[in-house]
Chains A and B, each alone.
Chain A
Amino acid sequence: MNEEIKQPEKPPAANQRTRLNTFNPGPLYAWPMGIWFIIFFLAPLLIIIIYSFMKKGLYGGVEPVFSLNAYSQMLNPKYGILVIRTLKISLISTVITILLATPCGYAMARSKHQTLLLFLIIIPFWTNSLIRIFAWMSILNNDGIVNQLLRKAGFIKDHLQLLYTQGAVILVSVYMYLPYAILPIFTSIDRFDFSLLEAARDLGATKAQSMYKVLIPGIKSGLVTAIIFTFIPIFGAYTVPLLVGGKDSYMLGNIIVDQVNKTRNWPLAAAFSMVITVISTIGVMLVLISNKNEAALNKTSTKEDNYVSDKTSSGAAK
């Protein structure tokens, strides 16, 4: 690699060795995506915000009259039950998913067959999700494989109601989002310095201790990403509770869809979305900020110090 880097005629002067006087490539990298969002997302976003403050049109749509009806409708305590139920199901699903995904990511990162394993994880997900949900329905139903096995083993006589329960929603949600959790964790563990673990063992830690105290903090950003990728989609999920859930599995995602379609109350759907968005944004920001604080304590070189547009210090803060 060295021979390919052009040797300059003379080394840059000391006060020019820093990058501050040269231009900051940050905006150039980030703005293309920013422009994309401005073109394709800003207007829809504004539409959502504006609609949530308008009066519901009788046949769907909105009437151009300012109204806080949607938000006041949301305060209905019945919705509270739903939100709690949705939170409970999403949290349980997320916890199970992460508990499964972390050892998987670890085993994958340490394996010699990374590409193969990556593909094994991803391939099922290029089959249409509906078909896979149907497959689960036929596995879990009263005469499905699980019940048949349980009957043959003598555990039950008739059948266990597995399908159309909250448990089924959790199981299928975990199934659907496992790869979305495994990927970031794997990416993060891949980068992890495993000699740290060896050092821990040599210092006297048990395996569990070394995992918990060394590995987990080291892959924190990957874990956070995995949690975000799992919790948020499951929280807003609609198809899974619809198909495999029972009468006790009506969740927030179902309500919002029903508001748009069945009750034709677009402002309420928009208002719900705004609230979900604000809460999720706050939650994620809190996590990311605490993440950054910890990272700042551990890092040897803080990149932030270098590329601030108006500082005058030079080099890294080693």
Chain B
Amino acid sequence: MMKKAFIGIMAAVMVCGTIGLVSCSKKGSEASAEAGDDGNFAGQTLYLFNWTYYTPDSVIQKFEKEFGVTVKVDTFDSNEVMYAKLKAGASGYDITFPSQDYASIMIKQNMLREIDLSKMPNKQYINPEVLKKATYDSEMKYCVPYYMGAAGVAVNKQKVKNYEKSWNIFARTDLKGHMSMMDDMREVIGDALAFQGHSVNTLDDAQLESAKNLINKQWKPNLVKFDAEGFGKSFAAGDFWVCQGYAEVVFGEVPEAKQADMIDFFIPKEGGPMYIDSMVILKNAKHYNLAMAFINFIHRPEIYAEFLDAFHFPSFVNTEASKYMKTVPMYKAEEMANCELKEDVAEGLEKYNNIWQEIRFEAN
């Protein structure tokens, strides 16, 4: 009688112990922190917490080979989720890639370590225009810009013939049932605000109210859903003809051969929200020097060009890289001229929340 329970408990203990040992020993075999001051990183592992595919495999492999290290990448698909995990206490990552509003939050919350610019000779290639726009950290104290872009509108040229390159395309009732916008509060409300000529960071109640009415009364009835994940698939399948979202999502789902005929991606003339993703080093990172080496490596023009090519991005952050690019960008940096950086609105988020709830909760 005792035997059965005893065996059960022993088995459980052994299993737990084994797994515990395995995971502990993995940690123990690493080189000690702060190694690499002399530039020798051999044997270390760099841990990235990155958007999926954001750094192409080819770039990572080149880095691994050149420095004799391993790079492990954990991924996330939204700033919020990355932040929630780090805020709740997850550690072990060296570099992460927040967008500008979350970068400023992380700075305020003391989650980042300072960038030692002396370890980054390639900073000369970073476009000062970008730094000017990066009001949250224009001196690169904590954040090194990675990419600046914006969500726009993808239109299926084969199904929709005459249209204005404006946010108000979503008010067109003849396209009802074939359009989607992202399930992203700041993006959608920001689009409405921009269309009405206001700032995407406004906290003015009247402006927010009129944006809400625009979305609820004119745009939402024509939308099928608010979708931040699968709209690429539905666009490629021909279900959605007009999608608000990131260009790379749509281009990623439509086969190369069909892209030119099918997709017209534009950033509306009224402007809208834009983003700057940065590389930051976390405060408890264990491989600071290796992380700095990685950041520096990314901004080598030929390496950065590889990144741009993988996504057909324009080369605004690192203009030198445009000389090495082999592809034509999906949209041009000039299109973002009217765009505005989404900033952290602190307590004002409540206002956006309430409006978003009124938009999202209703079935129609």
* Contacting residues, chain B, for A274 (C-beta < 8 A): none
Cross-interface CB contact of B220 among A61, A138, A141, A247, cutoff 8 Å: A247
Tell whether, in the assembled complex, residue A32 and residue B8 are in contact, meaning their CB atoms are under 8 Å apart.
yes
Q: Which residues of B contact A137 (CB under 8 A)?
A: 230, 233-234
Residues of B within 8 A of A58 (CB): 346-347
Our pick among A81, A143, A250, A261 for the contact of B84 (Cβ within 8 Å) is: A261
CA distance A263 to B84 in the complex (A): 11
* Docked complex: A108-141 residues within 8 A CB-CB of B: 134, 137-138, 141
Does B230 contact A263, Cβ atoms closer than 8 Å? no
Q: Which of B40-48, B221-229, B296-304, B320-328 has 4 or more CB atoms under 8 Å from chain A?
A: B221-229
Report if A25 contacts B (CB, 8 A).
yes
Report A-chain residues with C-beta under 8 Å of the C-beta of B363. Answer: 85, 247-248
Q: Looking at the complex, which one of B81, B83, B238 makes contact with A143 (CB distance below 8 Å)?
A: B238
A-B contact count (CB 8 A): 85
Q: In the bound complex, what is the Cα–Cα distance between A200 and B12 (angstroms)?
A: 47
Interface residue ranges, B against A (CB under 8 Å): 1-2, 5, 8-9, 12, 78, 80-81, 83-84, 87-88, 105, 108-109, 177, 185, 220, 223-226, 229-230, 233-234, 237-239, 346-347, 349, 353, 357-358, 360-364
Q: Is A225 engaged at the interface, CB distance under 8 Å to the other chain?
A: no
Contact across chains for B230 and A60 when beta carbons are under 8 A apart: no
Chain A residue at minimal CB-CB distance from B223: A247
A:147-167 near B, CB below 8 Å: 161, 163-164
How big is the A interface, by class?
A: 35 or more
Contact of A142 with B358 in the complex, beta carbons under 8 Å:
no
- Stretch with Cβ within 8 A of B (4 or more), from A8-16, A179-187, A238-246, A292-300: A238-246
**Does B239 lie within 8 Å of A250, measured CB to CB?**
no
| Nearest CB of B to A294, in Å | 31
Interface residues of A, Cβ cutoff 8 Å to B: 25, 28-29, 32, 36, 58-61, 78, 81-82, 85, 134, 137-138, 141-144, 161, 163-164, 242-243, 245-250, 260-264
CA distance A59 to B105 in the complex (A): 7
B85's closest neighbor in chain A, by CB? A261
CB distance from A238 to the nearest CB of B (A): 12
Decide: A141 near B78, CB < 8 A? Known: A25-B1, A32-B8, A78-B361.
Answer: no
